[in-house]
Amino acid sequence: MHFDPWSPEFIAHPYDVYDELRRERPVSFFEPTGQWLIARHADVNALLRDRRLGRSYLHVATHQEFGRPDDPEFQDPFWRVIRAGMLDVEPPVHTRLRRLVSKAFTPRMVEALRPKVARIAGELVDAFVERGGGDLIAEVAEPLPVTVIAEMLGVPEADRHLLRPWSADICGMYELNPSVEAQHTAVRAAQEFSDYLVGLARARRADPGDDLISALALVADEGDQLTEEELVGTCVLLLNAGHEATVNVTGNGWWSLFRNPAELERLRADHGLLPTAIEELMRWDTPLQMFERWVLEDISVGGVDIPRGTEVALLFGSANRDPEVFADPDRLDVSRAENPHISFGAGIHFCLGAPLARIELAESFGALLRKAPTMELVAEPSWGPGYIIRGLRSLQVTT
């Protein structure tokens, strides 16, 4: 097998290919996407922190200067929303946007949310156990982070069912070489989501609540700190990033435990292992397999020259199995103490929600371990089509 992010077999098990890449071609050109694949932990980690690269190049160059075509006009509504969020901009705009919301996501602020997260997780798991099980992803993994981030932002309960489909459709654009149909779907979702948030922000401005959208709407009102477009971009990003990966860590994580029954037994026997287990599940089967960066100035990686104007694909899933960094990397070890995995990224775009994600995962895995101590798999799950955002379609279990 070779690197093929569109192949279901590769998506199901990319790790042997990564192994070969790390050993033989740690920096290699991938013709179908025109990107340089970066496979080693040291290189991925260094490039994430290297300011000669960026999530975008539009702050220093035009599409023409980078030899790229203009975005097709029909994609305008999509890019207006996405490029107004902090993840797709670089300093100084990034610094300003991140500062505006970072206060809400400090470890201390999110620690205060723990009782609420624990209550929601407990209720979801109670109902799940009462039904004797079902699809762990649809019934526990998804509703927990969606509810938490929707409550933080102040999305009314009646509208929350809209978030997950909008997010999934938008994320379709992040996969490698998305189909024209996927592009149109993403554009439509971005437009609908944006219209919805503009309306919600206006309502909150008139009648503020104790939530992040109200707070941001008031900041936007004050003038130079936040435009309405940035407000929408920020909320879309928080709502999407605030649940997509957490859902997949939960699903992939339990699937990893079922595939490693001895480790599941260790964890069941000692719930004190939960903190290290969660970090290990995020490392062993990485939910976000790859992130891209544009090369803004010529660089050299492992002796390979990579010129300005090209794109690198940082293989997180490969970095997280690098034997230079992790002892016995293919082994799932729920008590692994030294675990500098790269699943939350590094550098200026390091995941803003990492403290919140850790609390959500601790509470949902904890509740399932306590309340469903003999939970078992019913059928082998299948992987969804995504490679970059990689998760199971469903996970059928009985409690």
Neighbouring C-beta atoms of residue 188, cutoff 10 Å: 16
Q: Which of 352, 367, 372, 392 binds ligand HEM (CB under 6 A)?
A: 352
Q: Which of 143, 233, 242, 253 binds ligand HEM (CB under 6 A)?
A: 242
Q: Which of 38, 136, 249, 392 binds ligand HEM (CB under 6 A)?
A: 249
Per rule CB under 6 A, count of chain residues that contact ligand HEM: 25
Are 208 and 214 contacting, i.e. CB atoms less than 8 angstroms apart? yes
Determine, following the binding rule CB under 6 A, whether residue 317 of this chain makes contact with ligand HEM: no
| Choices 217-225, 251-259, 298-306, 352-360; region in contact with ligand HEM by CB under 6 A | 352-360
Judged by CB under 6 A, the chain residues 210 through 239 that form the site for ligand HEM are: 237-238
Determine, following the binding rule CB under 6 A, whether residue 351 of this chain makes contact with ligand HEM: yes
**Closer of 86 and 200 to ligand HEM (Cβ):** 86
What are residue 149's DSSP bridge partners? none
In whole angstroms, give the CA distance from residue 118 to residue 277.
18
Determine, following the binding rule CB under 6 A, whether residue 118 of this chain makes contact with ligand HEM: no
Determine, following the binding rule CB under 6 A, whether residue 173 of this chain makes contact with ligand HEM: no
Neighbouring C-beta atoms of residue 297, cutoff 10 Å: 12
Q: Which of 349, 359, 363, 399 binds ligand HEM (CB under 6 A)?
A: 349
**Closer of 217 and 290 to ligand HEM (Cβ):** 290
Closest chain position to ligand HEM (CB): 353
Determine, following the binding rule CB under 6 A, whether residue 357 of this chain makes contact with ligand HEM: yes
Determine, following the binding rule CB under 6 A, whether residue 332 of this chain makes contact with ligand HEM: no
Q: How far apart are CB 131 and ligand HEM at their closest, in Å? A: 26
**Closer of 215 and 356 to ligand HEM (Cβ):** 356
Q: How far apart are CB 55 and ligand HEM at their closest, in Å? A: 6
Q: How far apart are CB 398 and ligand HEM at their closest, in Å? A: 26
Region for 377 from its dihedrals, namely left if φ exceeds 0, alpha if ψ lies in -120 to 50, beta otherwise: beta
| CA torsion through residues 1, 300, 340, 171, sign | negative
Are 378 and 131 contacting, i.e. CB atoms less than 8 angstroms apart? no
Determine, following the binding rule CB under 6 A, whether residue 86 of this chain makes contact with ligand HEM: yes
Q: How far apart are CB 379 and ligand HEM at their closest, in Å? A: 25
Q: How far apart are CB 90 and ligand HEM at their closest, in Å? A: 9
| Choices 61-69, 73-81, 258-266, 346-354; region in contact with ligand HEM by CB under 6 A | 346-354
Are 285 and 255 contacting, i.e. CB atoms less than 8 angstroms apart? yes
Q: How far apart are CB 353 and ligand HEM at their closest, in Å? A: 2
**Closer of 46 and 129 to ligand HEM (Cβ):** 46
Determine, following the binding rule CB under 6 A, whether residue 287 of this chain makes contact with ligand HEM: yes
Burial annotation 193-229 (CB, 10 A radius, 16+ → b, else e): bbebbeebbebbbeeeeebbbbbbbebbeeeeebebb
Q: How far apart are CB 289 and ligand HEM at their closest, in Å? A: 10
Determine, following the binding rule CB under 6 A, whether residue 41 of this chain makes contact with ligand HEM: no
Q: Which of 166, 344, 383, 387 binds ligand HEM (CB under 6 A)?
A: 344
Are 169 and 61 contacting, i.e. CB atoms less than 8 angstroms apart? no
One symbol per residue from 48 to 67: x for binding ligand HEM (CB under 6 A), - otherwise; what is it? -------x------------
Are 83 and 89 contacting, i.e. CB atoms less than 8 angstroms apart? yes
Region for 132 from its dihedrals, namely left if φ exceeds 0, alpha if ψ lies in -120 to 50, beta otherwise: left
Determine, following the binding rule CB under 6 A, whether residue 166 of this chain makes contact with ligand HEM: no
Determine, following the binding rule CB under 6 A, whether residue 241 of this chain makes contact with ligand HEM: yes
The residues that touch ligand HEM, with contacts defined as CB under 6 A, are: 55, 86-87, 98, 145, 149, 237-238, 241-242, 245-246, 249, 287-288, 291, 343-345, 349, 351-353, 356-357
